[in-house]
Structure 1
């Protein structure tokens, strides 16, 4: 299953359109908030989204827990967990819900890391990049099931479709 990961689009639906036009095999879009309404009316691809601190309250939930081929995925914007200061409260929430993978945003800084067997991914921002990456970014998540396990492959990209060096992660989850 191939999933496009986005966050912090802040009204740049033209960039969402450009990214999705690049791929003909996207099966889902996950938007981690701040202008969740940028995807609420999309009909070209199934989507999941959450509210960020710049979204109208109630336009989407604060978090979503979704199943992707047996993986438990927590999607949240991150502002409620203070991800700009530390990822620790988000790691506690991930453990609390038993998440295998956490997709979040808010900081506009792309991140892929593993903490105690849980993968955390912030695809960065499609609108206002921050940190050491100076271009708008998004991610592609591929989940491939095989005999009692699944392989997760995450690659972050710049707006022109170029892979971001150092932002690629592959992990195998064993499932009971």
Structure 2
């Protein structure tokens, strides 16, 4: 299972189209909110999206639970779960939804970790990155789950995937 995850484009629909062109054969495309676009924008014909704190179109759901092959992804922007300080509320919501992958945005900071044996991923912001990795430019994530484990690869709009940022978690790791 391989998915593409992006968030926090803040009006930049072009980058979402560029990512679709660069990654045409994924098992899913997940957008974690703050597009500032309408939910009816054609880009969301492919990207599964949730509402962020800067999205005012009620056509976006606040959360989304999606089966992807043998896995289940739970997605929320994160602002309703206090993700800037902790992830326990977000993890509890994802676990309650039966997810083994949780995707979120809001902080603009790329992060991959495991909580309660659930992979938790923030792709960072493709348009306005923050944190230690911000100098690399806007980020997105490619998440792969297979027999070798759970792998999160990060890429930037201008550099593609950056191998030194890859995080791998064995299946069953905490």
TM range (shorter): 0.7 to 0.9
Assess, with a 3 A threshold, how the Cα gap between structure 1 residues 38 and 121 changes in structure 2: closer, same or farther. Answer: farther
Structure-to-structure mapping, 1:1-176, within 5 angstroms: 1-35=1-35, 37=37, 40-42=40-42, 46-134=46-134, 135-144=137-146, 151-160=149-158, 161-163=160-162, 165-172=164-171
* TM-score, normalised relative to structure 1: 0.84
CA contact (8 A) 1:101 1:119 kept: yes
SS at match of 2:74: strand
1:99 Cα offset (Å): 1.6
Structure 2: where are the runs of 5+ without partners? Answer: none
1:39 Cα offset (Å): 7.3
State the distance in 2 between where 1:157 and 1:40 align. Answer: 27
State the distance in 1 between where 2:29 and 2:9 align. Answer: 13
State the distance in 1 between where 2:10 and 2:115 align. Answer: 29
1:43 Cα offset (Å): 6.1
**CA RMSD for the aligned pairs?**
2.4
Assess, with a 3 A threshold, how the Cα gap between structure 1 residues 43 and 10 changes in structure 2: closer, same or farther. Answer: closer
Assess, with a 3 A threshold, how the Cα gap between structure 1 residues 96 and 23 changes in structure 2: closer, same or farther. Answer: closer
CA deviation map 1:87-125 (0-9, x unaligned)? 121122122222201000000000000011011000000
Structure 1: where are the runs of 5+ without partners? Answer: none
1:170 Cα offset (Å): 4.3
Identify the range of structure 1 (135-144 vs 109-118) with the bigger mean alpha-carbon deviation: 135-144
CA contact (8 A) 2:149 2:168 kept: no
* TM-score, normalised relative to structure 2: 0.84
